[in-house]
Amino acid sequence: MNNPHRMCEEAVERLSGLEGFQLKRVSSWYFTEPVGYREQAWFVNGVAEGSTLLAPLQLLENLQKIESEMGRVRDFKWGPRTVDLDILFYGDEIVELPGLTIPHPELHRRRFVLVPLCELVPELRHPVLGITVKELLTGISEEGQEVRKVEYL
């Protein structure tokens, strides 16, 4: 919020220290127009790739622990937050559990996800929709979803 880019860097640092998780690559950071509740500052978004021995729910628990350690307060859905860590894909697995859906159910509608994701894995195929990340990105409108690469810092 004050320094969203710094929060993202810190989240990545904490992710790289997670036991049972090996961080491989991180995308560029992007300033992104707020989607959903629009009367708020632009977000900073990025995507990370790793390999893990953690089961999906264990991974989610660890991400939520990082969020709360970083002082996340849940004010209201889609409002400002210090940090938000979502699981986008888990290999090519489809997970539908109470409280956890993978692939993330909104990812294909969100340019703020697809643009950084496309930097890392353009050819990754969405296991439910059956098309690649690059194809998903080409298919959605830019209307109200501006995304600008962070070029400095």
Q: Give which of ligand PH2, ligand ATP, none residue 99 binds (C-beta under 5 to 8 Å, depending on kind).
A: ligand ATP
The Cα 82–Cα 7 span in angstroms is 7
User: Which residue lies nearest ligand ATP, judged by its C-beta?
Assistant: 99
Q: Tell me the closest approach of the beta carbon of residue 23 to ligand PH2, in angstroms.
A: 20
Active-site annotation holds for 84:
yes
Active-site annotation holds for 72:
yes
Helix boundaries (H) for 50-142: 56-69, 111-120, 133-139
Instruction: Please state, as a whole number, how many other Cβ atoms lie within 10 Å of the Cβ of residue 142.
Output: 10
- Among residue numbers 86 through 145, which ones bind ligand ATP (CB under 6 A)? 86-87, 99-102, 104, 106
Residue among 51 and 78 whose Cβ is closer to ligand PH2:
78
Size of the site for ligand ATP (CB under 6 A): 13
- State the residues that interact with ligand PH2 by CB under 6 A: 32-36, 43, 45, 78, 84, 112
Q: Give which of ligand ATP, ligand PH2, none residue 87 binds (C-beta under 5 to 8 Å, depending on kind).
A: ligand ATP
- Half-sphere exposure (Cβ direction) of 95: Cα atoms closer than 13 Å: 21
- Among residue numbers 31 through 90, which ones bind ligand ATP (CB under 6 A)? 60, 74, 77-78, 84, 86-87
CA distances from 26 to 8, 47, 118 (A): 11, 6, 12
Spatial CB neighbours of 133, under 8 Å, sequence gap ≥ 6: 114, 117, 118, 121, 122, 123, 124, 126
Residue among 129 and 151 whose Cβ is closer to ligand ATP:
129
